[in-house]
């Protein structure tokens, strides 16, 4: 009996968009919201719980938004009795002591900032407090955003288990191309990117009563963008509450950003909001919608941490993976029981470390440690198949010490119990963007001191712990204090497209928590203009711009998919775009590189990685979508390592299933927006792969590169293939040094060096080379045909 959050007869943005070309209707509603002409349509979330107790507390304490200790906090609202079928949360976690206080602050303040150590229970408990207090009644839901998809799904599973409900019913999650939600979902964990996408259909996010932006300290691109947008939404929805949670103290900055209660304008703003609420019918039908305090409140939850002693290397380590492994083995052999957590930068390093640890473990199995402990090496990274993931979270059996090699996801998003020793390589893989070259790449960079402190903190969960940093103390002191927000080091093309489609035309004047660099913004606008997404007035174009905004794809792949319509290969491009959008299609193959290469060679296509993906998908389909056929994921992906039952095709079955899901969603989006006829199947080009390559070229022409020559190393052994050098075709403002561009060895075109290629992404290697991934061979003539505004034939 869920009442629609929007009133009947009102202009429903969802309805407006469903009619294909009529999508412009929906767009206008977004423009109304953010451009200043709309009106608030919010309704009070609850018909109760705003009793005299809360009001009295508000009168006496409402102005005091200083941090509250557990005892000095005001009396909480009168809570409805607990639903006897639910169990709410884990009362032993530190955050449980702050339950009443948090609820009171949320009740009375538009924005509440919760700062607390990782593991104190913010993510798992706070949404349960809100649910119990009635914030998800009358059809509303509570959203909790995560920067990482793996965090969204694991946390949802954990909370469902705590509450004794099935995942996808009361508690669900939504990440790109994968979700477990239903009409009944009251607590929804979702990535910040997915919430942004929901905003395009429903700019005021009317289905939510509370939005918790979690892990705000990570300052991901989507989080920053979301905070800017939510600030606008809050002005329109006095009933909405925002919770921002962060593991580090930067509450001051957030508070200033959200403080809209500056002296003088308060009364005016309040009056305006009350009028807006009345106009929207928010006060109708006995639903009270009291005006919240616009000053953000903050609360600090102290953690449950023990001291952690930090150790540094005396001599720098040559190879941090090997150094980390030997540090872990030394700890295992010499120190007291307690799990070991190793921080590395990426999946490949994690796999290498686990393979090395297994080697040591076998060697040590004869001579046990003085504590007769056995070592259990485990990997933890974002693309890890579900079964292997739960193994990491299960406590180690008696007599076993877990040694977990993890990427950055173990820093704050996920908490492992039982860790006493942390080994930190002091590096992190992060995005880097150079607006001069327009190249965004993944780069292994030194970690910031703030991140390193978080990592060290993971050792103090159960008792006093130790952290071993694999660098010298003097070097550590030189590291940057905090991590630069992602906004400052990213390609902003997708973000600008999203803002534009939300009706925010002047993206340069958008209110940012920290504004992105102007050059990056200008570059993004230029690139969107080149893709014909923006017209000469920097407005979204009707044909490409509006369509592209509707597709949950990065703009270049989206443009390729749209181009496929004219080339008769939508069927193929759906598959290619889906497979290029899901991570980790190939299963990890550390220790079995040769077998993996052979498996890959079976699908390799001279046209490049896109067509190779297509071959993979076709073969998998004819195997009856079998996961055994994939091989990679058998036994949670661990069989692909060190021989044994090495995967037959080294593919990740879960990624392929997800790609199928993505395909369906993309097809649905094309049809829903009138970009493809709903009745007939998508056009296919059959065995002719040229249209597929042309479509990719049409989307990725900004990343076209031509072969320049081969560099040979005079010291290399005879027969060394050398390095094939490429040059970007488009203009770059990079004058000082030529770009070192080559094809990454994960590409099937690695050795063949075609004369002209387009690529999907680049990664910068330690050596300084930019390595192209997702490469397709193209004809220069196609570029001239497909993007005459960018390319012309040499005279």
**Residue among 88, 312, 393, 769 that touches ligand CDP (CB under 6 A):** 393
Nearer to ligand CDP, 288 or 390 (CB): 390
> Per DSSP, what are the bridge partners of residue 606?
none
**Residue among 101, 120, 123, 490 that touches Mg ion (CB under 5 A):** 123
What residue 50 binds from Mg ion, ligand CDP, none (CB within 5 to 8 A, per partner kind)? none
Do the Cβ atoms of 652 and 588 come closer than 8 Å?
A: no
Tell whether residue 154 is a contact of ligand CDP (CB under 6 A). Answer: yes
Tell whether residue 155 is a contact of ligand CDP (CB under 6 A). Answer: yes
Tell whether residue 458 is a contact of ligand CDP (CB under 6 A). Answer: no
Which of the ranges 113-121, 138-146, 253-261, 668-676 carries the binding residues for ligand CDP, by CB under 6 A? 113-121
Do the Cβ atoms of 533 and 540 come closer than 8 Å?
A: yes
Tell whether residue 248 is a contact of ligand CDP (CB under 6 A). Answer: no
**Residue among 6, 13, 58, 124 that touches ligand CDP (CB under 6 A):** 124
| Binding residues for ligand CDP restricted to 35-94, rule: CB under 6 A | 93
Minimum Å gap between C-beta 774 and ligand CDP is 32
Minimum Å gap between C-beta 555 and ligand CDP is 33
Nearer to ligand CDP, 313 or 392 (CB): 392
Tell whether residue 102 is a contact of ligand CDP (CB under 6 A). Answer: no
Do the Cβ atoms of 7 and 281 come closer than 8 Å?
A: yes
Exposed e or buried b for every residue in 335-366, given b needs 16+ CB within 10 A? bebbbbbbbbbbbebbbbbbbbbbebbeebee
Residues contacting Mg ion: total by CB under 5 A: 1
Nearer to ligand CDP, 419 or 704 (CB): 419
Nearer to ligand CDP, 212 or 540 (CB): 212
Which of the ranges 121-129, 161-169, 334-342, 624-632 carries the binding residues for Mg ion, by CB under 5 A? 121-129
Minimum Å gap between C-beta 461 and ligand CDP is 7
Which of the ranges 72-80, 115-123, 253-261, 362-370 carries the binding residues for ligand CDP, by CB under 6 A? 115-123
Tell me the C-alpha distance between 3 and 408, whole Å: 42
Tell me the C-alpha distance between 661 and 665, whole Å: 6
Distance of CA 536 to the CA centre of its chain: 32
Beta-carbon count within 10 A of 669 CB: 18
Tell whether residue 119 is a contact of ligand CDP (CB under 6 A). Answer: yes
Minimum Å gap between C-beta 128 and ligand CDP is 10
CA atoms within 13 A on the CB side of 651: 30
Minimum Å gap between C-beta 211 and ligand CDP is 16
What order do you get walking across the sheet with 427-434 strand by strand? 427-434, 439-446, 761-764, 770-773, 741-743, 723-728, 704-711, 756-758, 776-777
Minimum Å gap between C-beta 616 and ligand CDP is 32
Tell whether residue 158 is a contact of ligand CDP (CB under 6 A). Answer: yes
Minimum Å gap between C-beta 390 and ligand CDP is 9
Give residue for tokens 């305090």.
Answer: 293
3-state secondary structure of 360: helix
Which residue's beta carbon is nearest to the bound Mg ion? Answer: 123
Tell me the C-alpha distance between 293 and 297, whole Å: 9
Which of the ranges 123-131, 171-179, 651-659, 781-789 carries the binding residues for Mg ion, by CB under 5 A? 123-131
DSSP string, 306-344: --EEEEE-SS--S-HHHHHHHHHHHHHHHS-S-EEEEE-
| Binding residues for ligand CDP restricted to 409-448, rule: CB under 6 A | 415, 417
Tell whether residue 128 is a contact of ligand CDP (CB under 6 A). Answer: no
Do the Cβ atoms of 772 and 754 come closer than 8 Å?
A: no
Exposed e or buried b for every residue in 370-399, given b needs 16+ CB within 10 A? eeebebbbbbbbbbbbeebbebbbeebeee
Minimum Å gap between C-beta 121 and ligand CDP is 4
Say what the alpha-carbon torsion angle 438, 444, 450, 452 is, to the nearest 10 degrees.
170
Tell whether residue 127 is a contact of ligand CDP (CB under 6 A). Answer: no
Nearer to ligand CDP, 97 or 237 (CB): 97
Do the Cβ atoms of 484 and 491 come closer than 8 Å?
A: no
Tell whether residue 223 is a contact of ligand CDP (CB under 6 A). Answer: no
Q: What angle do CA 91, 150, 224 make, to 5 degrees?
A: 90
* Cβ-Cβ contacts under 8 Å for 365 (sequence gap 6 or more): 374
Distance of CA 584 to the CA centre of its chain: 15
Which of the ranges 150-158, 196-204, 281-289, 313-321 carries the binding residues for ligand CDP, by CB under 6 A? 150-158
Tell whether residue 763 is a contact of ligand CDP (CB under 6 A). Answer: no
Tell me the C-alpha distance between 182 and 16, whole Å: 23
**Residue among 27, 41, 43, 122 that touches ligand CDP (CB under 6 A):** 122
Nearer to ligand CDP, 24 or 453 (CB): 453
Distances (CA, A) of 609 to 355, 378, 405, 458: 28, 31, 30, 39
CA atoms within 13 A on the CB side of 359: 14
Tell whether residue 118 is a contact of ligand CDP (CB under 6 A). Answer: yes
Tell whether residue 172 is a contact of ligand CDP (CB under 6 A). Answer: no
Tell whether residue 13 is a contact of Mg ion (CB under 5 A). Answer: no
Minimum Å gap between C-beta 24 and Mg ion is 39
**Residue among 40, 116, 503, 558 that touches ligand CDP (CB under 6 A):** 116
Tell whether residue 652 is a contact of ligand CDP (CB under 6 A). Answer: no
Tell me the C-alpha distance between 550 and 676, whole Å: 13
Which of the ranges 134-142, 153-161, 322-330, 470-478 carries the binding residues for ligand CDP, by CB under 6 A? 153-161
Minimum Å gap between C-beta 459 and ligand CDP is 14
Minimum Å gap between C-beta 155 and ligand CDP is 5
Do the Cβ atoms of 773 and 747 come closer than 8 Å?
A: yes
Tell whether residue 121 is a contact of ligand CDP (CB under 6 A). Answer: yes
Nearer to ligand CDP, 62 or 89 (CB): 89
* Cβ-Cβ contacts under 8 Å for 444 (sequence gap 6 or more): 345, 346, 427, 428, 429, 766
Residues within the interface to ligand CDP (CB under 6 A): 93, 116, 118-125, 154-155, 158, 393, 415, 417
Residues within the interface to Mg ion (CB under 5 A): 123
């Amino acid at each position: 009996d869920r009442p629609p959050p929007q009133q009947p007869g009102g202009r429903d943005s969802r309805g407006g968009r469903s009619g294909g070309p009529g999508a412009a209707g929906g767009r206008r509603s977004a423009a109304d919201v953010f451009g200043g002409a709309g009106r608030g349509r919010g309704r009070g979330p609850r018909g109760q719980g705003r009793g005299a107790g809360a009001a009295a507390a508000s009168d006496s304490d409402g102005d005091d938004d200083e941090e509250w200790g557990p005892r000095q906090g005001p009396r909480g609202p009168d809570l409805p009795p607990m639903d006897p079928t639910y169990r709410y949360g884990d009362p032993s976690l530190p955050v449980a002591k702050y339950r009443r206080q948090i609820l009171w602050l949320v009740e009375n303040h538009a924005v509440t900032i919760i700062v607390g150590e990782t593991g104190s229970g913010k993510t798992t408990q706070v949404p349960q407090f809100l649910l119990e207090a009635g914030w998800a009644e009358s059809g509303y839901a509570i959203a909790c955003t995560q920067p990482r998809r793996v965090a969204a799904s694991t946390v949802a599973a954990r909370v469902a288990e705590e509450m004794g409900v099935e995942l996808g019913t009361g508690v669900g999650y939504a990440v790109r191309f994968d979700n477990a939600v239903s009409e009944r979902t009251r607590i929804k964990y979702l990535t910040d990117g997915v919430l942004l996408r929901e905003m395009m259909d429903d700019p005021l996010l009317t289905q939510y009563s509370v939005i918790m932006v979690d892990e705000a300290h990570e300052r991901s691109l989507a989080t920053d963008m979301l905070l800017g947008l939510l600030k606008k939404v809050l002005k329109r929805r006095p009933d909405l509450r925002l919770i921002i949670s962060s593991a580090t103290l930067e509450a001051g900055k957030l508070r200033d950003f959200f403080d809209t209660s500056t002296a003088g304008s308060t009364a005016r703003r309040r009056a305006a909001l009350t009028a807006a609420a009345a106009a929207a019918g928010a006060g109708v039908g006995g639903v009270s919608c009291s005006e919240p305090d616009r000053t953000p409140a903050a609360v600090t939850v102290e953690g449950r941490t023990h001291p952690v002693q930090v150790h540094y290397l005396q001599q720098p380590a040559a190879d941090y993976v090997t150094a980390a492994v030997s540090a872990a083995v030394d700890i295992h052999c010499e120190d007291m029981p307690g799990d070991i957590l190793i921080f590395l930068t990426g999946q490949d390093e994690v796999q290498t470390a686990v393979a090395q640890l297994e080697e040591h473990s076998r060697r040590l199995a004869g001579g046990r440690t003085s504590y007769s402990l056995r070592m259990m090496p485990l990997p933890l990274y974002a693309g890890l198949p579900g079964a292997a993931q739960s193994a990491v979270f299960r406590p180690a059996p008696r007599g076993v010490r877990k040694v977990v090699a993890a990427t950055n996801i173990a820093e704050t998003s996920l908490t492992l119990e039982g860790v006493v020793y942390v080994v930190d390589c002091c590096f992190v893989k992060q995005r880097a963007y150079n607006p001069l070259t327009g190249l965004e790449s993944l780069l292994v960079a030194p970690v910031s001191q703030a991140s390193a402190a978080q990592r060290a903190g993971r050792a103090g969960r159960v008792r006093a712990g130790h952290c071993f940093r694999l660098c010298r103390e003097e070097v550590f002191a030189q590291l940057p204090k905090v991590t630069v927000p992602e906004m400052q080091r990213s390609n902003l093309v997708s973000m600008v497209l999203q803002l534009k489609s939300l009706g925010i035309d002047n993206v340069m004047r958008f209110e940012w928590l920290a504004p992105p660099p102007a050059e990056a913004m200008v570059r993004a606008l230029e690139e969107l203009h080149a893709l014909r997404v923006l017209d000469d007035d920097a407005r979204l174009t009707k044909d490409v711009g509006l369509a592209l905004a509707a597709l949950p794809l990065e703009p270049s792949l989206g443009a390729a998919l749209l181009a496929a319509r004219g080339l008769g290969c939508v069927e193929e491009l759906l598959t290619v775009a889906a497979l290029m959008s899901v991570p980790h299609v190939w299963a990890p193959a550390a220790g079995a590189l040769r077998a993996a290469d052979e498996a890959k060679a079976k699908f390799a296509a001279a046209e490049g990685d896109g067509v190779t993906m297509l071959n993979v998908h076709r073969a998998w389909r004819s195997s009856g979508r079998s996961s055994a056929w994939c091989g990679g994921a058998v036994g949670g992906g661990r069989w692909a390592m060190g021989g044994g039952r090495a995967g037959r095709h080294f593919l990740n079955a879960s990624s392929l299933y997800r790609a199928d899901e993505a395909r369906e969603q993309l097809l649905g989006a094309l049809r829903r927006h009138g970009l493809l006829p709903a009745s007939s199947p998508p056009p296919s080009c059959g065995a002719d792969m040229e249209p597929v390559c042309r479509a990719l070229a049409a989307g990725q022409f900004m990343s076209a590169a031509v072969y320049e020559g081969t560099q040979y190393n005079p010291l290399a052994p005879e027969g060394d293939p050398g390095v094939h050098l490429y040059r970007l075709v488009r203009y770059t403002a990079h004058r000082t040094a030529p770009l070192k561009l080559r094809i990454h060895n994960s590409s099937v075109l690695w050795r063949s060096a075609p004369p002209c290629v387009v690529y999907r992404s680049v990664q910068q290697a330690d050596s300084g080379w930019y390595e192209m991934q997702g490469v397709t061979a193209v004809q220069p003539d196609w570029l001239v045909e497909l993007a005459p505004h960018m390319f012309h034939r040499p005279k």
